[in-house]
Structure 1
Amino acid sequence: MKLTIRGSVTAAFMACMATAAAASPAAAGTSAPVDLPLEHLERVLPVHAPGLRTGVPVPVAGVPDGPRYVTGRLLPAKTLPAVPFTAELPETEVELPVKDPLGEGNLGALRAASGASDLMLRAPGATAGAPLSAPREDLSGLPEPVLPQLGLVSPMLQGTPAGALLMG
């Protein structure tokens, strides 16, 4: 293979890898912004429409903690591994204009805001036991029937959201 052909193949491969990396969810961020248009409420209700700006978390899957083989068991521990996810709870802002009850203008706006925070999620997992024991010497190397065991790994959601309510 000529050097020029090898170089162009390498360049095409690197371009494809860069495109795939740019299109991945991890490169795009872990939240998608959402702006809700609530201006049309003013036509229906006799109040000023609130402003709402938030986002939707986009979970990115991590590496699952795979099955582990344990001596004396026929099936591995963590038969169905729990998959970890990471995401970002985006910043949320709600702003509502407040009128003066005496009719002398506006008092400002009531604003509720929460900052962005990281989220850690873990999907549920399971561990299953076989209905047979390991081969036993006293039974000439034959397994003994036992009750199968089933264990569940509970799901987890961990984050530190915080918020503030402001007037003015």
Structure 2
Amino acid sequence: MKPTTRGTLAAAITCVAAAAGAATAATPAAAATTVPVPLPLDGVEKSLHMEMPHVTGELPVPVAGAPEGTRFAEGRLLPERALPRLPLGGGLPGGDLRAPLPHVLGDGFDHLGVSAPAADLRTATPGLSVDTPLGRPDAANGGLPSLHEPRAGLGTPLLRTVPGAEIVTGPGA
């Protein structure tokens, strides 16, 4: 084997190994559905010498799905879904708040917590279905296509989610 062939082969193997390593390193980050967003209030807490609320949030990462394919229907020249619907997955933003209370509800209750986790959200864009005024060739009509009125339809968009929240009071930090 010539030295130039060996060098080319070594460079190709190195590139493939680097691409495989980058793909395995990027997999956990791509699998995340939400990104945590903390609100840092530690500096304010230390400078004012008082307990501040702890606030964190979650922002969803939208993920596009595979579009629904076209379906061919008998008696139509164009497919049933000329413009397919595109599903998108993601979530509603979530948040978590834990704030101090100055013993308003009694001695055992000195914190208030509100938690609204990020909820799954599934959506699909509207689709379009059209049909031409020409039908299939008709033997009774001398082989000419039959005529009918042109048709157009808009597929409804989809939005599906189940949000939730929780409010708690109690002792603790």
Q: What does the per-residue CA deviation read over 1:95-147, in whole Å, with 9 as the maximum and x for residues that have no partner?
A: 23223459x99952211113344332222212111122222222222223322
In 2, the alpha carbon distance for the partners of 1:142 and 1:7 equals: 64
Q: Which runs of 5+ in 1 are unaligned?
A: 43-47
Q: Paired residue for 1:157?
A: 159
Which residue of 1 is the match for residue 48 of structure 2? none
TM-score, with structure 2 as normaliser: 0.71
Q: Distance in 1 between matches of 2:41 and 2:151?
A: 54
Residues 55/144 of structure 1: CA separation in 2 closer, same or farther (3 Å cut): same
Q: Is the 8 A contact 2:60 2:118 kept in 1?
A: no
- Count of paired positions: 162
Equivalents in 1 of 2:151, 2:30: separation in Å?
42
Partner residue, 2:132: 130
Normalising by structure 1, we get a TM-score of 0.73
Q: Contact 1:25–1:60 at 8 Å: present in 2 too? A: no
User: Does the aligned pair in 2 maintain the 1:31–1:89 contact within 8 Å?
Assistant: no
The percentage of counterpart residues that share the same residue type is 35
The 2-side partners of 1:148 and 1:25 are apart by 49
* 1:36 to 1:29, Cα distance in 2 relative to 1, 3 A: same
- 1:38-60 Cα deviation digits (max 9, x unpaired): 79x99xxxxx8644311211111
Please provide the CA RMSD for this pair: 3.6
Post-superposition, which runs of at least 4 consecutive aligned residues in structure 1 deviate over 6 A?
none
Cross-structure match for 2:101: 98
Q: 1:144 corresponds to which letter in structure 2?
A: S
Residue identity opposite 1:31 in structure 2: T
Q: Distance in 2 between matches of 1:124 and 1:6?
A: 49
Q: 2:84 aligns with which of 78, 81, 87?
A: 81
Offset at 1:3?
4.5
Deviations 1:78-110 (A, max 9, x none): 1111112222456520223223459x9995221
Q: CA, structure 1 residues 65+93, in 2 after alignment: closer, same or farther (shift >3 Å)?
A: same
> Would the alpha carbon gap of residues 78 and 112 (structure 1) be closer, same or farther in structure 2, given more than 3 Å must change?
same
